[in-house]
Amino acid sequence: MEDLQTLQTELLDRIQGAGDLAALEEIRVATLGKKGRVSLMMRELGQMTPEEKKELGPRLNTLKTTLNAAIAARREALENALLNERLQSEKVDITLPTAPQPEGGIHPITQVIDEVTEIFTEMGFSVAEGPDIEEDFYNFTALNIPEEHPARQMHDTFYLPEDANGKRKVLRTHTSPVQIRTMMAGEPPFRIIAPGRTYRCDSDATHTPMFHQVEALLIDRNIHMGHLKWCIEEFARRFFEVGDIKIRFRPSYFPFTEPSAEVDIGCAFKGDEIAIGEGNDWLEIMGCGMVHPRVMENVGLDPNDYQGFAFGMGLDRIAMLKWGIPDLRDFFAADLRWLKHYGFTALDLPSLSTQGVK
């Protein structure tokens, strides 16, 4: 039988000299496999005398244990070296920006809704919502719009198919139904704005079949046109960020308000630009008026006890005026280049209530 000390030294040197896991596995099989050198020496114990077994048995077991430990240590060292090599070759520099130029942005409509909401909530208004698919009563009848009114015609309104009762719902043509639902669901006073999508059969540079409106409603006792005028002036001053703004009210007609008025703001046309708050030109921005007594009666309120005002404007239109957007249809064109030019970053949060005006 070989000298065990010499054999151990030889095998340990070979184990430490293994350059990769495959070479180490070959050494393990040649040493401790079924036909390995140490395994064969263990088999020879069966042919020895009891005295020889007693002497060589413990030494062989010690050799086997030592070699197993050396192989395990070398395997761990080789695996760690292999892992480190992969980590070095596959590493990612996380200090570099993943998107140096953000592709998306906040849409102007989202921004204008946030800014309008910011202004009116500072005035004490709350936000109310309603369904886009509306019943005739809320969209027309309760708002004092008669059966023969042109707004009810199919060339202006999107009608849905008749239901089992022969009635047809509509895609709401304004957000005024939200005012009706609010008044019928609670008790005065009311002070709400209702922003949202509306739908009409129209499409050109300043009209689209789907657009956005915001309407405001205030119902209380002893409300008059002076309150309405202040509210609109304050909104226009803060939204267009000017210290002084000219506003005029032109008599008009709406079925749901009496008296009714169109609101214009002073401006100046300078080439392709519009300067709000200066000059001798005018731009229409909204319609308004005192809530019609019949509308009050339709929602169960006594017009002798309560009065109120309402006004509404196109959010798309005031966004076009504020940011110089020439074509309304571009709002819905899904053009990333347009959004890069007119869009806002995620950090452009509305702060019109706290910032100074120009």
The one-digit pLDDT tens for each residue of the chain (358 residues) are 557 788 888 888 888 888 888 998 888 888 888 888 888 888 887 788 888 778 788 888 888 888 889 999 999 999 999 988 888 888 777 776 665 666 668 899 999 999 999 999 999 999 999 999 999 999 999 999 887 777 677 567 898 998 888 888 999 999 999 999 999 999 999 999 999 999 988 766 667 888 999 999 999 999 999 999 999 999 999 999 888 889 999 999 999 999 999 999 998 888 777 888 778 889 999 999 999 999 999 999 999 999 999 999 999 999 998 988 888 888 888 888 888 888 887 776 666 544 444 3
The CA distance from 330 to 208, in Å, is 10
Q: Do residues 178 and 128 make contact, with C-beta atoms less than 8 angstroms apart? A: yes
* Domain co-membership, 254 together with 129: yes
Instruction: Return the pLDDT at 44.
Output: 80
Answer with the one of 90, 124, 142 that is the final residue of a domain: 90
Question: Could you tell me if residue 209 is inside a domain?
Answer: yes
Last residue of a domain, one of 61, 90, 119: 90
Q: Is the same domain home to 121 and 36? A: no
Q: Verify that 71 and 119 share a domain, yes or no.
A: no
Q: Are residues 78 and 181 in the same domain?
A: no
Query: Does residue 350 belong to any structural domain of this protein?
Result: no
Domain membership of residue 354 (yes or no) is: no
Q: What is the CATH number of the domain that holds 206?
A: 3.30.930.10
Is 349 inside any structural domain?
no
Q: What is the pLDDT of residue 319?
A: 92
Residue 319 domain flag? yes
In a domain, 355, yes or no: no
pTM of the model: 0.66
Give yes or no: residues 113 and 85 share one domain.
no
Let me know whether 122 and 76 are in one domain. Answer: no
Q: Are residues 208 and 337 in the same domain?
A: yes
Establish if 177 belongs to a structural domain: yes
Q: Which residues contact 309 (CB under 8 A, 6 or more apart)?
A: 217, 218, 223, 225, 227, 228, 231, 257, 288, 289, 290, 291
Which residue segment(s) compose the domain that 317 sits in? 108-342
Whether 250 and 129 map to the same domain: the answer is: yes
Q: What pLDDT is recorded for position 4?
A: 78
Residue among 58, 63, 56 nearest 15 (CA): 63
Instruction: Say whether both 112 and 9 belong to one domain.
Output: no
201 and 174 co-located in one domain: yes
> Does 100 map to a domain?
no
Written as one letter, the residue type at 274 is: I
Residue 206: CB atoms within 10 A of its CB come to: 15
Domain boundary residue among 30, 64, 90? 90
Q: Do 177 and 258 fall within a single domain?
A: yes
| 133 and 78 co-located in one domain | no
Residue 131 confidence (pLDDT): 95
Number of domains the chain is built from: 2
